Amino acid sequence: MNSIWTIARKELSDSLRNRWLIAIALVFAVLALGIAWFGAAASGQVGYASTPATIASLASLGIFLIPLIALLLAYDAIVGEEEGGTLLLLMTYPLSRGQLLFGKFLGHGLTLAFATLIGFGVAGVAIALLVDDVAVGALAAAMFRFIVSTILLGWGFIALAYVISVRVSEKPVAAGLALGIWFFFVLIFDLMLLGTLVASEGKLNPELLPWLLMLNPTDIYRLLNIVAFGEGAQLSGVLSLGADLPIGAAGLWFALVLWFVIPITGAWALFRRRRI
Amino acid sequence: MSCFRLENVSYRYDKALVLNGVDLRLEPGEILGLFGHNGAGKTTCIKLILGLMTPTQGKLSVLDGEAGDPHVTQHIGYLPENVMFYPQLTGREILNHFARLKGAPLKQVPQLLEQVGLGDAMNARVKTYSKGMRQRLGLAQALLGKPKLLMLDEPTVGLDPVATADLYRLLRKLRDEGTGIVLCSHVLPGVEPYIDRAAILTDGAVKAVGDLASLRRQANMPVTLSIEPANGTSALEKVIADASAGNGLMIKKDNGKLQVDVRPSEKMAMIQALLNSGEVQDLGIHQPTLEDVYVHFIGSGGLAHRGGAQ
């Protein structure tokens, strides 16, 4: 446990030192406040629209930004150590591969968690203080749900980045593959799903279709933050499939947790087989 | 307790046999030089002892335990050949990090940095370090936690002559305190005075092992006598011819001196004959150096022999 914390602590202090943590937090805060203030601009006025609309807009933006940040933060976790020659050295220390990997995960995970908490937390507090007629209770609940799901989504992509990082032997390759993952989950997956729907002309089992959304953590994340507002929530595109899902919010949370547990376990298994 | 013991160890990488029946051991308070061309299996030996890989065949014990066991690795110091470390951190921060991982007391860190001559630079970022400074940082890292077994891969790369001498003095001190040390190097004349035993590897097998005297015996290489004549070379040449009893020794003339190669077993008889003749002004005896012995065992296959990746 001590070794895991030693590794995590170095990652945390690295991200404080290179100002990643503060930069991410700042980006989140500015985005959240910007969306909160100008979210209603389309309807011709500036000001706070409503909590569900704000969270929905934030979540739509989050699915682009969170995976990208998480992948950038973590893609060189192992391959970077190898290029610097420190991976070989670390493995001669009383430190197992699992301890190294989970220590990295703890460090990167906490970095992202703190940045999210600070960035969106500050924005939430600012909205609560500055907007006159906002229901603070509902806002706090929605913000809390949004922040926790954002952290889980980020962890998922950190874990996916590790799968790459333990597998390849050059940093640029890892960076390219990380971008590929982002591209796939954020841009291509929904298109593919829509394409499949149209091409199958209704022959696909309609029971099965909503479950396909579970194959993409960003879709789970969006569903969680939009569906939570119940009736009246506007689901567009492939997300409308999610309305038919029989698993409810708890199931979505569970799926999002699985989305970081499974890749990190996979990365661990691959790392144990890696030749050093 | 042995520092390590390899008994008939073989290692296969994919299909290739990288190590083939290696027997090697190191006792505490001993410096072993590990030599061989690139791809001879030095790095593989070290990695096996460090527990980074497991042997395909044979028995391996390290510090009376199993290689790679955390209780064992805690007492091993290792200096890899090329470490960049973390360029954004200072030398002190890096050493603190490694000390925590090794469970070594943090108060050791400034002492070790002082000891390797990085006292003034410990608070500078490593990206500003020269190659020699990084090498010293690596050395300080290897010394964390007072290891019982120290493995150094090319420790003198990038070090100036003074720092190199300091390093060897430090290694001697550690050896006298009971540390077992493995030294891999290509700078043979540099390490020759400091090693107790040498092991020469070629193509994954130990070709010769022992102290320098026993390696010379195994190699049976000629000793070169360099003789300055007292009364002209022709008289001296006659003495040599008589002493060698028609063996036809090679005699080379060099600046009025004679160079004679004799077999180790005939060396003393020849010297006695020379001294008794009264024809000798001065006499030099040149034993084969570690480098000569190394070249003898590796063979003179030239560059082709030294190919192959590490």
Return the closest-CA partner of residue A213 out of A249, A239, A237, A236: A239
Query: Do B31 and B171 meet the contact criterion of CB atoms below 8 Å apart?
Result: yes
Report helix, strand or coil for B115: helix
Measured between beta carbons, which residues in chain A are less than 8 angstroms from residue B73?
92-94
Q: Token pair of B99, please? A: 């000390």
Give the dihedral sign, CA B94/B100/B101/B103: positive
Return the closest-CA partner of residue B191 out of B284, B289, B98: B289
Distance from CA of A241 to the nearest CA of B (A): 48
Mutate to test the interface with B, among A17, A18, A76, A93 (most CBs of B within 10 A): A93
What is the predicted pLDDT for the residue at B304?
Answer: 47
Q: Token pair of A183, please? A: 């591209």
A87 in B contact zone (CB under 8 Å): no
- Is it the case that residue B180 has pLDDT exceeding 60? yes
C-alpha distances out from residue B132 to A147, A254, B156, Å:
48, 53, 8
- Residues A30-61 have pLDDT tens digits of 989 888 888 666 666 777 778 888 888 888 88
Residues 6+ apart with CB under 8 A from A191: none
Q: How far apart (Å, rounded) are the C-alpha atoms in residues A40 and A48? A: 7
C-alpha distances out from residue B28 to A38, A78, B76, Å:
73, 35, 12
- Residues A185-244 have pLDDT tens digits of 999 998 998 888 888 877 777 777 778 889 999 999 988 887 766 555 556 666 677 666
- Residues B45-104 have pLDDT tens digits of 999 999 999 999 999 999 999 998 999 999 999 999 888 899 999 999 999 999 999 999
- Please give the average per-residue pLDDT across B6-24, as a whole number: 91
B157 in A contact zone (CB under 8 Å): no
Q: Token pair of B123, please? A: 């608070």
Lowest mean pLDDT among A38-42, B32-36, B240-244: A38-42
Report helix, strand or coil for B128: helix
- Residues B247-284 have pLDDT tens digits of 656 777 777 788 888 888 888 888 888 888 888 888 89
Q: How far apart (Å, rounded) are the C-alpha atoms in residues B260 and B245? A: 14
What is the predicted pLDDT for the residue at A236?
Answer: 64
Residues 6+ apart with CB under 8 A from A235: A226, A227, A242, A243
